[in-house]
A and B are shown apart, each in its own frame.
Chain A
Amino acid sequence: MAPRTKLWCAAGLLLAIIYPLLFGGPVLVTRSNYAINIAFLILFAAFLGQAWNIAGGFAGQTSFGHVVFFGTGAYVSTILHVTHGWNPWLAWPVAIAAGGLVGALIGVLSFRAGLRGSYFALITLAFAEVFRILANSIPQTRGGLGMLIKADQRPENFQFRDPLWFYYLALALCVVGLLVAWWLTRSRFGARLAAIRDNEDAAKALGIDVFREKVRVLALSGAMCAAGGTVYAQKYLFIDPSIAFGVDKSVEMLLVAMIGGAGTIFGPLIGAGVLHLVGELTRDLGNVIPGIKNAQPLALIVYGLILVAIVGYLPNGLTSLFRRRR
């Protein structure tokens, strides 16, 4: 990494750490939970986008159903906690492992069948739907009623009275995600994924076990998503099948990575920031333009147009503005 990049990273991290102090911490008298929460949402989306990016960007295995791993993580830890009385901190690693396992399983099934490109994307979508319907129907998940986690706001219970701590948790996850992505740009595993993304036949010819590497990366990506699933459940204390396995979350992960720049280290972070800021700004459109009663459709249209413009003019994402190539 270039010294300049290192400097920027250090500055960014420092800013992220002191951010709550600037916008609502002990320094100011009035707390702005809004500022903390929006930052949490950005970092959390960036982490999930990074998880998608590991498989979809770096390895070129575009998925439309990544929420399946997120939901697996959310449900596994919540079932262990609520139904079986586990401490959520202990349930977390199990949930992460479960996400990895589901990733490996979906990988084995789809890659054994030789599914690539849009076929792979569609099969992941189908898996996510199967999991959603399953969660809707089996007693272990309490079906469509969803699962409520009893509020008991103690840190040892993975619940925090102050949203600050979830912000820092999301920041830590985000940093881990960035480190994984950075490792992929430096390691043999990452080089093999890039080779597979660019040309599977050539990768095979050069001794790469394409099937094995693709299963591995999906397991890694799945484990990361599942880690996010548990955090979501512990923050909002409620999950149901459409929250945990809804297609909109899959789309958000994909958008975050694509808008920022799929297959780049900082793409998902930038994508998440832009997506949320554009979302927040367009939502306020109604207050800016007088005489509009229902601003929501207009906000969505503007939001959509901005996304189309970004994808249309920068097919390699916003990071391509900063760097010619990666």
Chain B
Amino acid sequence: MLEVRDLAKTFGGLKAIDGASLDVAEGSIVGLIGPNGAGKTTLFATIAGFHKPDGGRVRFQGQDITGLPPHLLCERGMVRTFQITQPFARLSVIENVMVGAYLRTADRAEAEARAADVARRVGLGDRLQAPAGDLTVAGRKRLELARALATTPKLLLLDEVMAGLNPTEITAIVDIVRAIRDSGVTILLIEHVMQAVMSLAEHVYVLNDGRIIADGAPQAIATLPNVVEAYLGRGAAARMGGAHA
């Protein structure tokens, strides 16, 4: 469904993305992990059209979409959420979600019904009239999810929807994300919370310094020396290896 090939993005002199490639198969949940500053968010933003890539190609559903603006990609069925939540602060929860729903219909009643339905699916059913600016962190993350979902995407790019949540909230979101996949939406998931990635993703890519340094099944990835090093620093793998042996 999504093919990223040798994607590159440079900010000034900094190579934020340095030739990254990945594939997401239709109907799957794919994880993207990596230490802070690895370039995960930048990779998402570049795929989703928020940055013009300096090199490489992106194909979505068999078509070259490199450099297309975000609104056209959203129309084609690819939508991203924001790690730093971006609510429409002066609108209510339902109005926020309706903005997404309006992508597929101009009818107010239909948009409202669809938005209410989506909001319920992510557990915001009892907060529909609340001002978006008043939501807690967990609420805002759910709102990001609901708005994106309301555009009826085929591919959902989720940027750390679990960061900053407590374990109970994480479990709830994990269930919601799985339900979204089961409803037929493909998901590419950036996540810092390892436990969540492990339980959700079928395949995981590891990004470090703008490069994909490993990929595979989540359990296999977690023990790779270069992955452990990327997360914990040089020498960590050796120390851990010693401890495990």
Residues of A within 8 A of B (CB): 186-188, 191-192, 194-195, 197-199, 201-210, 263, 325
Distance of A158 Cα from B88 Cα, bound (Å): 45
A191-B95 in contact (CB<8A):
yes
Contact between chains at B71 and A208 (CB < 8 Å): yes
- Closest B residue to A210 by CB, please name it: B71
**What are 20 residue pairs bridging A and B, where the CB atoms are less than 8 Å apart in the complex?**
A188-B102, A188-B106, A191-B98, A191-B102, A194-B90, A198-B89, A199-B88, A202-B87, A204-B71, A205-B80, A206-B74, A206-B100, A206-B151, A207-B71, A207-B75, A207-B103, A208-B71, A209-B69, A209-B71, A210-B71
Please state if A198 and B88 are interface contacts (CB–CB under 8 Å): yes
Within 8 A of A (CB), among B22-69: 48, 50, 69
Q: Complex Cα distance A88/B123, Å?
A: 59
The proximity string for B residues 88-109 relative to A, scoring 1 for CB distances below 8 Å and 0 otherwise, is: 1111000100111011001010
Please give the distance in Å from B156's CB to the nearest CB on chain A: 11
Interface residues of B in 193-209 (CB under 8 A from A): none
Nearest residue (CB) in B for A213 is: B71
CB closest chain-B residue, reference A198 = B88
Q: Which residues of A contact B102 (CB under 8 A)?
A: 188, 191-192
Q: Kindly list the 6 A-B residue pairs having the minimum CB-CB distance in the complex, ordered from nearest.
A: A207-B74, A198-B88, A202-B86, A207-B103, A204-B70, A195-B99
* B88 proximity list for chain A (CB < 8 A): 194-195, 198-199, 202-203
Q: Does B111 contact A (CB under 8 A)?
A: yes
**A17 CA to B77 CA, complexed, in Å:** 52
B148 within 8 A of A: yes
> What residue in chain A is nearest B108 (Cβ atoms)?
A186
Q: Which residue of A lies closest to B144 (CB)?
A: A202
Q: Which residues of B contact A204 (CB under 8 A)?
A: 50, 69-71, 74
- Are B82 and A205 interface neighbours, CB within 8 A? yes
Q: Is B131 an interface residue (CB 8 A)?
A: yes
> Residues of A contacting B106 with CB < 8 Å?
188
How many angstroms from the CA of A198 to the CA of B92 in the assembled complex?
A: 12
Q: How far is the CA of A198 from the CA of B95 in the complex (A)?
A: 12
Hey, which chain B residues are within 8 Å of A263, CB to CB? 90
Q: In the bound complex, what is the Cα–Cα distance between A210 and B90 (angstroms)? A: 18
User: What 0/1 readout, one digit per residue, does chain B (103-136) give for beta carbons within 8 Å of chain A?
Assistant: 1001010010000000000000000000100000
Say how far B148's CB is from chain A's closest CB, in angstroms: 7
- Residues of chain A contacted by B90 (CB below 8 angstroms): 194, 197-198, 263
CB < 8 Å neighbour of B99 from A186, A203, A209:
A203
Q: Is B9 an interface residue (CB 8 A)?
A: no
Question: Within the assembled complex, what's the spacing in Å between the Cα atoms of A202 and B80?
Answer: 9
B148 and A205 contacting across the interface, CB-CB below 8 Å: yes
Q: A188-B106, A202-B86 are in contact. Are A208 and B69 (CB under 8 A)?
A: no
Within the assembled complex, what's the spacing in Å between the Cα atoms of A199 and B108?
Answer: 21
The verdict on A206 contacting B75 (CB below 8 Å), with A187-B108, A188-B108 known, is no
- How many angstroms from the CA of A199 to the CA of B90 in the assembled complex? 10
Given known contacts A198-B88, A199-B86, A205-B70, A192 and B99 CB-to-CB distance under 8 angstroms = yes
Find out whether the CB atom of A201 lies under 8 angstroms from the CB atom of B71: no
Contact B108 A208, beta carbon cutoff 8 Å: no
Smallest CB–CB gap between B177 and chain A, Å? 18
Per the bound structure, the CA–CA distance linking A192 and B80 in Å amounts to 18
List B contacts of A203 (CB < 8 A). 88, 99
Contact present for B131 and A325 (CB under 8 Å)? yes
In the complex, which residues 131-161 of chain B have their Cβ closer than 8 Å to any Cβ of chain A? Answer: 131, 147-148, 150-151
**Also in contact, A206 and B108, with CB within 8 A (given A188-B102, A191-B95, A191-B99):** no
A202 CB, min distance to chain B CBs, angstroms: 4
A38 to chain B, nearest CB (A): 34
Chain B CB within 10 Å, residue with most, of A186, A187, A199, A263: A199
Which of these, B48, B91, B98, contacts A205 with CB under 8 Å? B48
Given the complex of chains A and B, what is the CA–CA distance between A197 and B111 in angstroms?
Answer: 20
Chain A residue contacts of B50, Cβ below 8 A: 201, 204-205
Q: Whole-angstrom distance from the CB of A67 to the nearest CB of chain B? A: 27
A206 B91 Cβ-Cβ under 8 A: no
Kindly list 7 other residue pairs between chains A and B, CB separation below 8 angstroms, not including A188-B106, A194-B90: A194-B88, A195-B88, A199-B88, A202-B87, A205-B74, A206-B147, A207-B75
> Are A198 and B91 touching (Cβ within 8 A)?
yes
Residue among B82, B90, B98 having the largest count of chain A Cβ atoms under 10 Å: B90
Q: Which residues of chain A come closer than 8 Å to B87, judged between CB atoms?
A: 198-199, 202
A191 partner residues in chain B, CB cutoff 8 A: 95, 98-99, 102, 111
A11 to B72, CA, bound (A): 46
Give the residues in chain B near A186, CB-CB below 8 Å: 108
- Flag whether B79 is at the interface (Cβ < 8 A): yes
| Closest B residue, CB atoms, query A194 | B91
Smallest CB separation, A206 vs chain B (Å)? 5
Q: How far is the CA of A199 from the CA of B82 in the complex (A)?
A: 12
A192 to B74, CA, bound (A): 15
